[in-house]
Chain A
Amino acid sequence: MPRALCPIPRAWRVAGTVPLLVLLASSLAAQAPVRAFRGAQLHPIAGPPIEQGVLVVEGGRILAVGGSSTTIPRGAEVIDVGGKVILPGLVDTHSHLGSVSGGDRSAPLHPGVRALDSIDVRSDSFWRARAGGITTINVMPGSGLLMSGQTVYIKLRRDPRTIDDWLFCDDPIGGICGAMKMANGTNPLDPPPQSGSRAKSAALVRALYVKAQEYQHKVDEAAADSAKKAPPRDLELEALLQVLRGERIVQHHTHRHNDIATVLRLQQEFGFRVVIQHGSEAWKVADQLAAAKVPVSITFIDAPGGKEEVLGWRLDAPAILERAGVDVGFNTDDWITDSRLLLRAPALAVRYGMSREKALEGVTLAAARMLGLEERVGSLEPGKDADFVVLSGDPLSVYTQVEETWVEGERVFDRDDPEHRRFAVGGYRVYRDLATHHDVLESEAHQ
């Protein structure tokens, strides 16, 4: 859609304090539509579920969340959602939709490569995510390289024209618009110039971060002493400095317990912020992860196996991690699992002992935290983005369908619309770009 019609202009969507946003939003009240969704069971995630709740949305923001006595502003459009269940828009911390690509085989580490330069916002695959109630995605390049590049955080707003319409960041060229994808274990192992062993993988990564530290040192020296010349710009090292400053989170593909330990060792050495992605054996090192306050985003796989390093996966891993005090999230890793079925992951985690509260948090607020987006998304709270999902019933039931998905106050998926519905159930080559995703899968499989 044309930028002018966006419910909240991008400049406002981005930085700024919540009071400022509320102020801006209320000054817009005259134009911004106000809608009240009444009668559903609300799961704010930030608090306990509310029966017969009221969710008030003004433009692209949440104005109020509460029980049946919540004040509905005069003139608001009241939408009856009695019998439905409303969750915050789901957050997928790991996905490969939209023909995303990253670095190539020319080198093992590609910190300068940006996923946002590759994504096709018109890809049908994003309909799969909307149909699953997903509104925010960390789209990542694959795990076939030690560092395949910068990921991108996107919001599935309606009718995008370019990737700019989907970004969380303000500045696609100079801003921090996502995380840094790293991987260890067996996927990145290959003949030179790739790493051939686990220790070599760690050594290559360390060498690069050390180089970034030295670059930082030169930058600092030049800033402090005008006689010293600043080093020439280096796009790769600039991105790594963002990592070293904790501004760009590392999303680290890793499975085996000792590979996870290697990630923790690197994190300790260089002080970056890291999220364990997959973490098939994270349950074996749950206490170390809890102590390091490192969260784990799990791809819930129905059965172990398929490659050696995931043999240790167990279905009660999320429950074990929860008990140890680790922040647990879930991801689809689409095409490994299906975006339409992200809610299966918390449901099956509950089957194997996780609490309902933490399981649902794992696809909402905990996932948002893992992307550093918890101020914007992941819960139903006044001032946050009006991203939510209307479900036909219990979020953890197989029989429940995603009926509607809303992003920033606009409905982006409606199961009653036949065009939308066909993406919800699949078939007849609705996913035209599968070939590309299959290539991603293959490249991962062949590592």
Chain B
Amino acid sequence: MIRRARMSARRLAAGAAVLLLSATAAAIAQGSDIAVRGGTIHTLTGPPIRDGVVLVRDGKIAAVGPAASVPIPDGIEVLEAVVVTPGLIDAHSTLGLSGIYNSNVGQVRDQDQLETSAPIQPELRAIDAYDAREKLIEYARGFGVTTIHTGHGPGALISGQTMIAKTRGDSTEEAVVVPFKMLAFTLGNGLSREFKSPGTSAKGVAMLREALLEARQYLEKRETRTAATQDDGEGDGEGEGDEKGGGEAARNLRHEALAALLQGEVTALVTAHSAPEIEAALRLQEEFDFPMVIDGAAEAPLLLEEIAAAGVAVLPHPPMARLRQGSFETAAKLRDAGIPFALQSGFEGYVPKTRVLLFEAAIAAANGLGFDDALASITREPAQLLGIADRVGTLEVGKDGDLALFDGDPFEYTSHVCAVVIEGEVVSRECR
């Protein structure tokens, strides 16, 4: 294929950028070439570029700047748009686990975001449930979303793990960017009534503390053993006195997942809406000192100082979510308090089965957040919060060629997303 030959030539030139590709991403798409010319290009690194060009080669941004300074090579496909933004990043959803049918009865079971056999199951991996071909993923992509942080949902004290994926690919392996990113916690009223225990919010916190304590002990034991193995020889006393004797500790998947949290390798995504729930989340985080983001946080505006002091980020509820305490202005208030945040589509238990990130950001934009911060909250900010800013979130040379193309103000009701590009590949060409 001509195309492929051209790409391999480019790969040499792309050099370091190629190295940034994860092995799995590299396996699916060798990365494509495309040029996008936009009336306004929002790079999210500085002021918008008027009449600019984004050049993507081998799936990575090779150049971005005014049209006059970015020559478009011959033979490359050129898309045009009124407005160009980075591909949108959904800071939190359950897409790929919670399917369009919303059914867990009979033959149709597409609700894998919540397992109710036990309230604490951090060992449940998102990658083992993610359906890359779920219709709602394609739907979200049509509205500009190119990266999602998704996985186990709210409803259990710890419902399981989350992952980061690109909204393309036919399998988890093709889509995944980060296989284990966060552990999904839920405090208080958000817990499913399926569980016999906890029956109260205080009991829930107690159960979490127990689980975290056990994991800490497991971790300490593991570290001691590792140290002992390294020292070797000297069977000098102590001996841990347990049944396994020295050597390898028996693996425990639950403890391992929580140990990853305690070691700061993954983050706690704690769904907490009311002020007492948010307080409890902050208390847990202080006690066990793990990385945390607060999800939902309808009453965060009542605790802005505390949240800011704790240095945690917030993924506020979608503005249009049906929440008692929810406000169109939650995001604007977080911004005003200097708290890092990113918008999300979240989890929906009924109709509509998913929210449209762009539409939610539009409501936030019109209710105090403003255009620039609203756009940042679905591009640059989630990239930073999710630790993937080296790849996505802004339009800079070397980053993934993920783009959303619009025929007007992205947030206007009557504008359309007219093309979506992931790593140089046009994945949607229909104006929506």
Q: Which of A304, A348, A425, A441 contacts B328 (CB 8 A)?
A: A425
Q: How would residues 84 to 95 of chain A score, 1 for a CB under 8 Å from any chain B CB and 0 otherwise?
A: 000000000000
* Closest B residue, CB atoms, query A306: B351
Asked whether any CB of chain B lies closer than 8 Å to the CB of A301, the reply is yes
**B362 and A427 contact, CB distance less than 8 A:** no
Interface residues of B in 94-115 (CB under 8 A from A): 99-103, 108
Contacts A303-B356, A399-B366 aside, 7 further interface pairs with beta carbons under 8 A come to A302-B355, A303-B139, A341-B320, A351-B413, A425-B327, A426-B327, A427-B325
Interface stretch of the complex, out of A289-297, A307-315, A319-327: A307-315
Interface centre among A308, A438, A444 (most CB of B within 10 A): A308
Q: Which of B301, B322, B351 contacts A307 (CB 8 A)?
A: B351
**B413 and A305 contact, CB distance less than 8 A:** no
Which chain B residues border A435 with CB–CB below 8 Å? 324
**A428 and B325 contact, CB distance less than 8 A:** yes
**A347 and B328 contact, CB distance less than 8 A:** no
Asked whether any CB of chain A lies closer than 8 Å to the CB of B349, the reply is yes
Interface centre among A306, A397, A400, A445 (most CB of B within 10 A): A306
Which chain A residues border B254 with CB–CB below 8 Å? none
Asked whether any CB of chain B lies closer than 8 Å to the CB of A396, the reply is yes
* Closest B residue, CB atoms, query A445: B350
* Closest B residue, CB atoms, query A307: B102
**A429–B275 Cα gap in the complex (Å)?**
11
* Closest A residue, CB atoms, query B352: A303
Asked whether any CB of chain A lies closer than 8 Å to the CB of B421, the reply is no
**A336–B100 Cα gap in the complex (Å)?**
17
Consensus secondary structure, chain B interface: loop
Q: Number of A residues contacting the other chain (C-beta, 8 Å)?
A: 39
Which chain A residues border B432 with CB–CB below 8 Å? 315
**B322 and A441 contact, CB distance less than 8 A:** yes
With known contacts A398-B366, A426-B326, A429-B324, A305–B100 Cβ distance under 8 A: yes
Interface residues of A in 396-447 (CB under 8 A from B): 396-401, 425-429, 431, 434-435, 438, 441, 444-445
With known contacts A428-B325, A428-B327, A396–B413 Cβ distance under 8 A: yes
The smallest C-beta distance from A346 to any residue of chain B, in angstroms, reads 9
* Closest B residue, CB atoms, query A336: B351
**A305 and B135 contact, CB distance less than 8 A:** yes
With known contacts A427-B330, A431-B324, A303–B355 Cβ distance under 8 A: yes
**A398–B374 Cα gap in the complex (Å)?**
13
Asked whether any CB of chain B lies closer than 8 Å to the CB of A335, the reply is yes
A-B contact pairs, 6 of them (CB 8 A): A303-B354, A307-B101, A341-B363, A397-B413, A398-B362, A429-B324
Which chain B residues border A308 with CB–CB below 8 Å? 101, 103, 108
**A81–B135 Cα gap in the complex (Å)?**
47
**B353 and A304 contact, CB distance less than 8 A:** yes
Which chain B residues border A444 with CB–CB below 8 Å? 350
Interface residues of B in 397-419 (CB under 8 A from A): 411-416
Which chain A residues border B298 with CB–CB below 8 Å? 427
Closest 4 CB pairs of A and B: A427-B327, A306-B351, A305-B100, A347-B413
A interface vs B, CB < 8 Å? 301-308, 310-311, 315, 335-338, 341, 344, 347-348, 350-351, 396-401, 425-429, 431, 434-435, 438, 441, 444-445
* Closest B residue, CB atoms, query A348: B413
* Closest A residue, CB atoms, query B345: A303
**B351 and A301 contact, CB distance less than 8 A:** yes
* Closest A residue, CB atoms, query B98: A305
Which chain A residues border B329 with CB–CB below 8 Å? 425-427
**B353 and A306 contact, CB distance less than 8 A:** yes
Asked whether any CB of chain A lies closer than 8 Å to the CB of B136, the reply is yes
**A398 and B348 contact, CB distance less than 8 A:** no
Asked whether any CB of chain A lies closer than 8 Å to the CB of B302, the reply is yes
Interface residues of B in 281-320 (CB under 8 A from A): 298-299, 301-302, 320
**A445 and B349 contact, CB distance less than 8 A:** yes
Q: Which of A301, A304, A396 contacts B414 (CB 8 A)?
A: A396
Which chain B residues border A429 with CB–CB below 8 Å? 324-325
Which chain B residues border A347 with CB–CB below 8 Å? 413-414
The smallest C-beta distance from A19 to any residue of chain B, in angstroms, reads 41
**A307–B105 Cα gap in the complex (Å)?**
12
**A310 and B351 contact, CB distance less than 8 A:** yes
Interface residues of B in 337-353 (CB under 8 A from A): 348-353
Q: Which of A336, A344, A425 contacts B367 (CB 8 A)?
A: A425
The smallest C-beta distance from B254 to any residue of chain A, in angstroms, reads 32
Which chain A residues border B320 with CB–CB below 8 Å? 337-338, 341
* Closest A residue, CB atoms, query B356: A302
**A408–B354 Cα gap in the complex (Å)?**
39
Asked whether any CB of chain A lies closer than 8 Å to the CB of B365, the reply is yes
**A113–B353 Cα gap in the complex (Å)?**
32
The smallest C-beta distance from B377 to any residue of chain A, in angstroms, reads 15
**A305–B110 Cα gap in the complex (Å)?**
12
Which chain A residues border B325 with CB–CB below 8 Å? 426-429
**A305 and B136 contact, CB distance less than 8 A:** yes
Which chain A residues border B356 with CB–CB below 8 Å? 302-303
With known contacts A425-B367, A445-B349, A305–B354 Cβ distance under 8 A: yes
**A427 and B301 contact, CB distance less than 8 A:** yes
The smallest C-beta distance from A352 to any residue of chain B, in angstroms, reads 8
**A438–B190 Cα gap in the complex (Å)?**
14
The smallest C-beta distance from B148 to any residue of chain A, in angstroms, reads 14
**A399–B329 Cα gap in the complex (Å)?**
14
Q: Which of B136, B301, B322 contacts A335 (CB 8 A)?
A: B322
The smallest C-beta distance from A119 to any residue of chain B, in angstroms, reads 20
Which chain A residues border B326 with CB–CB below 8 Å? 426-427
**A307–B353 Cα gap in the complex (Å)?**
8
**A242–B416 Cα gap in the complex (Å)?**
46
Q: Which of B100, B351, B353, B413 contacts A398 (CB 8 A)?
A: B413
**A305 and B352 contact, CB distance less than 8 A:** yes
Which chain B residues border A307 with CB–CB below 8 Å? 101-103, 350-351
**A310–B101 Cα gap in the complex (Å)?**
9
